[in-house]
Chains A and B, each alone.
Chain A
Amino acid sequence: GAVVSQHPSRVICKSGTSVKIECRSLDFQATTMFWYRQFPKQSLMLMATSNEGSKATYEQGVEKDKFLINHASLTLSTLTVTSAHPEDSSFYICSARGWTSGINEQFFGPGTRLTVL
């Protein structure tokens, strides 16, 4: 089946620094990528949707200048948390949608645990 990878799986950083998370579709071309945030024991919250080569569409309440999303190719999207603060600590999950085996489907990465000290 289709695979989506995320790197790093876990990151700890100091307050005020920026952190970049990579999301790759390994065996299919992702026309659309999604970034989610998940708080402990809660559901996924969609942060933004990005289509390759165009600007990301952010959900209401998500700061686009703080969460920079780049979808430069059909297999790679990055989320950069700029000037991270402790309240940004969370589990970030990317998802990629594309055609694989004749089906347009959405697949999820394993997630990145961000801890801001």
Chain B
Amino acid sequence: AQSVAQPEDQVNVAEGNPLTVKCTYSVSGNPYLFWYVQYPNRGLQFLLKYITGDNLVKGSYGFEAEFNKSQTSFHLKKPSALVSDSALYFCAVRANAGNNRKLIWGLGTSLAVNP
């Protein structure tokens, strides 16, 4: 069965420090991987995605993520966190073949960046 795990409910980091939000997945075949951010009472905003090619993907607002096939991970990173990065982050995966091509969502990780 396809699944996404975000092992941390909450991540706290000081402003200016690097941040990592973890995501691991389980899917048949090669995955499409996504990160979205949600600010309070707002819809989801697309950050970045991995489809194929370079394992390091750069996205919006200075975020990047590295696809690691052997560890089935797609951790979200940013070299220097901002207070405005505080939000809820969702990892999602979709199989790139087969009949079931729905997005499978992680439970989300709340990121708090402290001034």
Contact = CB atoms under 8 A, between A and B. Distances in A.
B46 A107 contact: yes
Contact of A43 (B41, B43, B46, B105): B105
A108 B36 contact: yes
Interface string A94-117: 000000000000111111010000
Classify the interface of chain A: helix, strand, loop or mixed. Answer: strand
B42 A110 contact: yes
B57 interface: no
Interface string B28-55: 0000000010000111111000000000
A46 B90 CA distance: 14
A106 B103 contact: yes
A110 B90 contact: no
Interface residues on B, range: 10 to 19
A106 B49 CA distance: 11
Contacts of A72: none
B13 to A, nearest CB: 19
15 contacts: A34-B102, A43-B106, A44-B90, A44-B105, A46-B102, A91-B41, A93-B43, A108-B36, A108-B44, A108-B45, A109-B43, A111-B41, A111-B42, A111-B43, A113-B41
